[in-house]
Chains A and B, each alone.
Chain A
Amino acid sequence: MESILLNEYGKKVILLGNEAIVRGALEAGVGFSSTYPGTPASEIGDTFSEIAKDANLYFEYSTNEKVALEAAAGAALCGVRSMVSFKQYGLNVSSDSAFPLAYIGVKAGMVIVVADDPNCWSSAQSEQDSRYYARLAHIPMLEPSDSQECKDFTKIAFDLSEKFNIPLLLRTTTRVSHGRGVVKLGKIVEGKKRGRFNKDSIRFRNFPPYIMETHEELHKKLSELRRISEEIDINFSLNEGSENDLGIVTSGVTFNYVMDALQDLKLDLPVLKLGMTYPIPDDKIRNFIKDLKSILIVEEIEPILEESVSALAKDVNPELEFYGKKNGYLPRSGELKEWHVLLAISKITGVKSQFNPIAQKEEYKKLSVVKRPPVMCPGCPHRASFFATKSVVGEDAVFGGDIGCYILGIYPPFETQDFVFSMGASEGVIHGIKKVSDQKAIAFIGDSTFFHAGIPGLINTVYNGSNPLIIILDNRSTAMTGHQPHPGVGVTGMGEKSKVINIEDIVRACGVENVMVVDPFNVKEMEDAVREYLQKEKVSVIVAKRECQLLAIRRKKREGIVIPRFGIDQSLCDGCGICLYQFGCPAIFIENDKFFIDKDLCTGCAVCVRICPKRAIKAMK
Chain B
Amino acid sequence: MPKKSDKGDEIMEFNIIITGIGGQGVLTLTNIITWSALKEGLDAKASELHGLAQRGGAIACHLRFGDKIYSPLVLEGKADLVFALEPLEALRSCYFGSKKRTVFLVNAHRSIPSSIFIAKEEYPSLNYVLDALKPFSNKVILIDASEMAKRATGDAIMANMYMLGYACAKKLIPLKRESILNGIKEAIPERYIELNRKVFDLGFEANNVTIKD
Partners in one complex: yes
B55 touches A412 (CB 8 A): no
A372 touches B115 (CB 8 A): yes
Decide if A481 is an interface residue (CB 8 Å cutoff): yes
Q: Per DSSP, are chain B's interface residues mostly helix, strand or loop, or mixed?
A: mixed
Q: Which residues from B are CB-within-8-Å of A162?
A: none
B72 touches A256 (CB 8 A): yes
Docked CA distance A264–B48 (Å): 24
A180 touches B72 (CB 8 A): yes
User: With A364-B94, A588-B114 in contact, is A180–B45 under 8 Å at CB?
Assistant: yes
Chain B, Cβ-Cβ closest to A17: B72
Q: Which residues from B are CB-within-8-Å of A264?
A: 75
- Residue from the set A40, A364, A482, A600 with the largest chain B CB neighbour count within 10 Å: A364
Decide if A363 is an interface residue (CB 8 Å cutoff): yes
Decide if A374 is an interface residue (CB 8 Å cutoff): yes
Decide if A182 is an interface residue (CB 8 Å cutoff): yes
Cβ contact of A369, chosen from B49, B57, B88, cutoff 8 A = B88
Decide if A287 is an interface residue (CB 8 Å cutoff): no
Q: Mark B31-74, 1 if CB is under 8 A from A, else 0.
A: 10011001000011111111111111110000000000111110
Docked CA distance A260–B45 (Å): 13
Cβ contact of B124, chosen from A179, A337, A368, cutoff 8 A = A368
B116 touches A370 (CB 8 A): yes
Closest Cβ of chain B: how far from A584's Cβ, in Å?
A: 6
Cβ contact of A361, chosen from B52, B76, B118, cutoff 8 A = B76
Closest Cβ of chain B: how far from A20's Cβ, in Å?
A: 12
Q: Which residues from B are CB-within-8-Å of A356?
A: 77
A178 touches B50 (CB 8 A): yes
Closest Cβ of chain B: how far from A176's Cβ, in Å?
A: 8
Q: Which residues from A are CB-within-8-Å of B30?
A: 180
Decide if B122 is an interface residue (CB 8 Å cutoff): yes
B73 touches A175 (CB 8 A): yes
* Size band of the interface chain A makes with B: 35 or more
Docked CA distance A122–B119 (Å): 24
Q: Which residues from A are CB-within-8-Å of B55?
A: 374-377, 405, 408, 480
- Residue from the set B34, B57, B72, B186 with the largest chain A CB neighbour count within 10 Å: B72
Closest Cβ of chain B: how far from A595's Cβ, in Å?
A: 9
Closest Cβ of chain A: how far from B159's Cβ, in Å?
A: 12
- Residue from the set A146, A372, A405 with the largest chain B CB neighbour count within 10 Å: A372
Cβ contact of A178, chosen from B44, B47, B88, B136, cutoff 8 A = B47
A sample of 18 more A-B contacts (CB under 8 A), given A179-B47, A364-B136, A482-B50, is A122-B49, A122-B53, A147-B45, A178-B50, A180-B48, A181-B69, A182-B43, A257-B70, A260-B75, A355-B75, A370-B113, A373-B115, A412-B119, A480-B51, A586-B56, A586-B113, A589-B114, A590-B117
- The 9 nearest A-B residue pairs measured at CB: A39-B51, A374-B57, A122-B51, A357-B76, A256-B70, A180-B46, A256-B71, A364-B95, A259-B70
